[in-house]
Structure 1
């Protein structure tokens, strides 16, 4: 705690003080553990060149064949995520790659932990060109 106090004294009121872990913090940490689980799962796939955590999205997976999978990971054990908001964020990343004229094949994905199960969604992106 001494190092924490030296680094953050004057920045945070709780610098150098221990703080009890609340139930909310425990659940928040489980979200990070779930993201780590998905990252490890991606690393074990075939043809993966490398995996980045917290780069463009929660997890970015680059494959040898030029496919780039960018993944949003959500931990909602008791509630439902706002699908429109998440889809909009993933679509923005997809459009950004297109505008930068990326040669990678972009594949947006959403992994959700809900009700003790893993649900994987491939976000289907359709561009309407007038």
Structure 2
């Protein structure tokens, strides 16, 4: 994907043989596949470079009024569609793309999720909505 920079580091063991009395950690879990929604466009396609830009989407036709793309803060402010529709979109697409939903408050129109080293929050009201991504603590 354009704008996505990947880095893979492979460490090969050299030196003494593994000791049987030292436990071997399990291999890391496989990365969840990306499920691009037919009604969404990725942050990477919108020119964002920080965060999990290939796993977070904005609905097609959404009106982005403001944006921040920094190493410690990615923010998308949306004026349309309505917050309830966006909440349903992020509830569906976050889980489908490997994020763990950590809180879901439909009455407050707020959703929080985490994964891939990032924490995300969506919130909205009748005027605007915002999606915020920050590196996980």
TM over 0.5: no
TM-score by length of 1: 0.26
The structure whose RCO (Cα within 8 Å, separation 6+) is larger is 2
User: Which TM-score applies when normalising by structure 2?
Assistant: 0.25
Q: Which has the higher strand share?
A: 2
Q: Which has the higher helix share?
A: 1
